[in-house]
Structure 1
Amino acid sequence: MEGNDLQRDGVARVLLWGAVLLAVAAGMRYGLLENGLLPRDCLAPGSPVAPCAFKTALVQSFLHQRLGWVSLVLGGLAFATAGRRLAWAGWLSGLSGLILYSYEPAAVGAMLALLVLARPRGEQRH
């Protein structure tokens, strides 16, 4: 059994994309949402449509920890089926959930997905 080579098995790419997504999610949370750059009252007459639609979609993604539950389901399915595409989706949605208020289920989903992504590609399940 060979060890895991970071370049050959794509682990460095997983970590790089994870860092980029964490920066984007942190920018949305701290730069846009908590900093007050998005409109506060989108129900008021004359509210800008595009920023209000973006704010609504962003808030709905983590309301009731939806983003975290999506990550948990994707990570669990990826772990059960060894599906790398499901693992990528679970990993990235889990990292987003860690920053965007859905940290409890998102942490488990991200770790399950990371186990699949960190596995060497040639290794088969027995």
Structure 2
Amino acid sequence: MDFDKHALRQVLLVACAVAGAALWLRHGVLEAGLLPRDCTSGGEPLLCLLKDALVQGFMHQRVGWLSLAAGGAAFVLGCRRLAWLGWVSGLLGLVFYSYDPAAVGTLLSLLVLVAAQRQHRHGERKAA
């Protein structure tokens, strides 16, 4: 299977980088206790801000819903930029406890990314 032909190489590289960074943040930072437990006492403001941003990102499955919205819009509109947003946020959602909406958003985004590359290459062949 030719990875360049189906635009999978770029998608897989981004997936590995995003998933690796998300797993490191989840297991190496959040669950390892590297961030302050109690941010009410005015400890490290930057670390508390980072912790709050990470926790708020996956509370109420916000990252997963972002992926689903972006992936659905990308699928309907055929927009690669929305598909990339859905793909990356979906991978984050799969790591950060937003499985249900993130899985659907990720798959819809992946369909758009692969189909758009195929159409682009098919158009190049027709022009030649």
By the TM > 0.5 criterion, same fold? Answer: yes
- How many angstroms apart in 2 are the aligned matches of 1:100 and 1:27? 11
Q: Identify which of 29, 32, 38 aligns with 1:32.
A: 29
Q: Please give the per-residue CA displacement for 1:83-117, whole angstroms capped at 9, x wherever unaligned.
A: 00100000000000000111110000000000001
- Residue in 2 that maps onto 1:65: 61
- Residue in 2 that maps onto 1:101: 97
What does 1:7-26 align with in structure 2 at a 5 Å threshold?
7-26=4-23
- Residue in 2 that maps onto 1:83: 79
- Amino acid across the alignment from 1:55: K
Q: Identify which of 70, 74, 91 aligns with 1:74.
A: 70
Could you tell me which runs of 5 or more consecutive residues in structure 2 were left unpaired when the two chains were aligned: 124-128
Equivalent pair of 1:87/1:114 in contact (CA under 8 Å): yes
Answer 1 or 2: which has greater helix percent: 2
Equivalent pair of 1:9/1:121 in contact (CA under 8 Å): no
1:117 aligns with 2:113: yes
Return structure 1 stretches of 4+ with deviation > 4 angstroms.
none
Could you tell me which runs of 5 or more consecutive residues in structure 1 were left unpaired when the two chains were aligned: none
- Amino acid across the alignment from 2:64: G
Q: How far did residue 6 of structure 1 move?
A: 2.2
- How many angstroms apart in 2 are the aligned matches of 1:5 and 1:113? 20
RMSD (Å), alpha carbons: 1.5
- Residue in 1 that maps onto 2:126: none
- How many angstroms apart in 1 are the aligned matches of 2:119 and 2:91? 22
Stretch of structure 1 that moved more, 7-16 or 81-90: 7-16
The aligned length equals 120
Identity over aligned residues, as a percent? 49
